[in-house]
Amino acid sequence: MKDIFKQKKYVPYLILIGVIIVPLLYSYFYLGAFWDPYSSLKDVPVAIVNEDTGAMIKENYHNLGEEMCDRLKNDATLNFIFTDASAAENGLKGKKFYATITIPSNFSEDIASLSEPEKQTATITYSSNEKRNYLATQILNTAVAKIEASVRSTVNEEIVSTLSNNLKETPEKLTTLSEGLTKLQNGTADLKNGTSSLKDGAGTLNEGMSTLITATTSLKEGANSLKEGANSLKTGANQLVSGSTTLKLGLISYGSKWTEFTKGLETVKEGSLTIKTSLETLNQGLEKLESGAVKLDTATNGLSSIVNGSSSLATGVDTLQNSITSYTQGVDSLLGNISDTTQALAAYAKQTGDPTITKIVANLTNEKNIANLNALKNASSALNTGVNSLSSGIHTLSDGAQNLTQLKNSITELKNGLISAKQGATSLALGAGNLNAGLNTLYSAGGEFTKATSQLTIGATSLNNGLSSLTKGIDTLAVGSTSLYNGADKLNNGASSLGEGMNTLISGVTTLDDGASQLKDGITTANEGVKTSINSASEQLKALEGLDTYVGNPVTVESKAYEPVPNYGTAFAPYFMSLSLWVGGLMIFFGIYFDPDCRFKILSRRSNQVIKRTFAYLIIGLLQAILLCIVLLAGLGLNVQNIPLYFISSCLVSMVFIAIIQLLLLFFSNMGKFLAILLLILQLTSCGGTFPMETVPKLFNVLYPFMPMTYSVGLFKEAISGTGNTSLILYNSLILLGILAVTIGLTILFAILKRKNEKNEYPFGDAMPESI
């Protein structure tokens, strides 16, 4: 019993020590457990599954998934475990892995698509088991974000390297384009010279066509006169043949029947008169025919020139047609080259965004240039059509001219025959005159008449034979003159059509020449723009040097925290210290004040020394606070910026909390216990010690300014991590001092008032309730 009694003497001290160290244990173990979780992430298991099959990137095989795994093997951020998909899934469902990172089979292939028109986004699948530990998944999210940033940096480096290499080839391609434009420019210069020469030649040809049309018109008129004269000559010749036949028959009849001399003489006389009249008509026809033949011969003198000119013209037109065919083919090729060049420039402008090239493309494709190119193409087609029509007409003209050669020979024979016929008609007219004179003297000179009649019979026979030949020649002349007229008419019509075609040709050649000038100017401008772009691109591409490395990490975030906090433990220390001191206050009253054995009489409910008891509790609270500060500094290595403020704040907060708890427990009895616990719960959610107040419900924001722990947390933050913000220190300190003064004052006041009331209720010294 004596040993037991001795042991009981130490119990109050053990209780007191326990009450003092409870806040210490609370803060030490909680803060120690959560002091710096990120420093131990290397032990958190995360499964890595690489299913990437690789791909060809820039003509080399790469397995980017495997390369990423190689980097992670040297990364001590997490405990990376490389396994297959099945094991990773089973480990995530169980307790082996907190998360899995899966690299798909098409990872490298999707990244390789950066050089293709249709690009694919590479995807890495991150799966975490949030049910197992939600905070762990949040911490892992931060680590995975760093891995993602590293992968993005690598991919960006690859992308920019590929683009830089492609862009560096641009000046060389532009140089090739410039050389092509230079050749095109020279070609358009030659084209311009050719169209100018073609325009001049077409003008000269048009003048020759005017002369040809005038000549064919004169030829047509002469042929018409020849045709009319031949018809008149044919009529006179028929009459002459008829008269000569009558004369011949009469002379024959005179010779055979002299007895019928008188009658025959009359017949001869009539015949001579008829011959005389016919000869006069024949002579007039021969004169007209000779005049027409002279005009015709004069008109046909130029036929050889026309024939030779038409042959040369046909040869020239064939050469012109071949040249224009080559020219139109060149125009078509030129238009195709312009279209290809424009498309190449447009593709380059779209790829590089070069404003100069974009402007050149806009100039080449504007409505005016397109209209000029279409006009050039239409003029080329019209020129081709016109020269085909010209070639057809010239060949028709050449064929007609060949027939003119034969016609000229016939006209020459006709002219010679007409001369002979005229001479014969002249002789015949003289003979007819002599015959008529002889007939008048016939009666007086019968012998002479007989002789003359014989001569006349011979002459009439010759005349009849000559007139027969003349009639045949005249028939031939009539047919030939008709053919000549028809040919001359066709020749004139063909020449007129050819003249109209020449007008169309000249118009087309003029349009073609204008289009060639505009095309030459446009290509010259484009070539100058491309040369300017080459120089500009070469200068701008210098900026690509080292761009792939730069893009891999273009921005470095310099973390410069204001009033920095090194770890979770330091960040949560103000919150847990406030919580520990409140719990320590509760333990003081639950372990000492409510001690049923009243081991500490001055501190028990039965003590009448209320003021002493109050300050005694405050002293115990100070011991709790000082010991808590020392253990956190020495045991956990808490980094404190202001050591004096750190200890003063802890002591002040401890006294405030004890004063509040004492007021609640002493004067609200059992309800006070409930209020002390309730106030603790409300303060834990409304003091701003963990999450920002902006993230919690409105109710807690309303309670926030009324919670004592709000100001204890604020004061501890200034002491531990602050830089000496005097206004905040005074603000929090004064509010806590005010709370302390009010609660102590109310405690003493309520104690005095209650003691007086109890003395009045028990005036004879009866035992008072043990409630104070």
Is 248 domain-assigned?
Answer: yes
pLDDT tens digits, 398-428? 666 566 566 566 666 656 655 665 665 566 5
Q: Is the dihedral of CA 629, 630, 633, 636 positive or negative?
A: negative
Residue 454 confidence (pLDDT): 64
Residue that terminates a domain, selected from 536, 553, 588: 536
- Residue 236: give the domain boundaries: 189-536
pLDDT in tens, 289-342: 567 656 666 656 655 665 565 566 567 657 656 766 765 776 576 667 667 667
pLDDT at residue 692 in the model: 79
Please give the tally of structural domains in the chain. Answer: 3
User: Is 559 domain-assigned?
Assistant: no
- Number of C-alpha atoms within 13 angstroms, CB side, residue 529? 20
Q: Are residues 242 and 344 in the same domain?
A: yes
Question: Has residue 286 been placed in a domain?
Answer: yes
Which residues of the chain are modeled with pLDDT < 50?
1-7, 258-259, 442-443, 445-446, 449, 596-597, 762-772
Answer yes or no: do 15 and 66 share one domain: no
229 and 321 fall within a common domain: yes
Residue with tokens 């694919």: 120
pLDDT of residue 710: 94
Residues 697 and 648 in one domain: yes
Question: Is residue 360 domain-shared with residue 491, that is, in the same domain?
Answer: yes
576 and 524 in a common domain: no
Q: Do 193 and 158 reside in the same domain of the chain?
A: no
Tell me, rounded to whole angstroms, the distance of Cα 291 from its chain centroid: 82
Judge whether 2 lies within some domain: no
Give the tokens for residue 37: 């979780």
Spatial separation of the C-alpha atoms in residues 235 and 14, rounded to whole Å? 173
- The CA–CA distances, whole Å, from 73 to 47, 68, 77, 710, 768 equal 12, 9, 10, 46, 77
**Domain end position, chosen among 162, 178, 199:** 162
Same structural domain, 96 and 214: no
Whether residue 36 lies inside any domain: the answer is no
Only one residue has tokens 């420019």, namely: 185
Instruction: Looking at the structure, tell me whether residues 508 and 378 fall in a common domain.
Output: yes
Residues 232 and 348 in one domain: yes
Among the candidates 490, 513, 536, a domain finishes at 536
Residue 135: inside a domain: yes
pLDDT for the residue numbered 636? 84
Residue 521 placed within a domain: yes
Read off the CATH number of the domain in which 91 is found. 3.40.1710.10
What pLDDT is stored for residue 442 in this prediction? Answer: 47
Residue 769, pLDDT score: 45
Residue 331: what pLDDT?
Answer: 59
The single-letter code of the amino acid at 505 is: L
**Domain identity same for 423 and 484:** yes
Cα 94 to its chain centre, rounded Å, is 53
Q: Are 618 and 705 members of one domain?
A: yes
- N-to-C CA span, the chain: 33
Q: Is residue 408 part of a domain?
A: yes
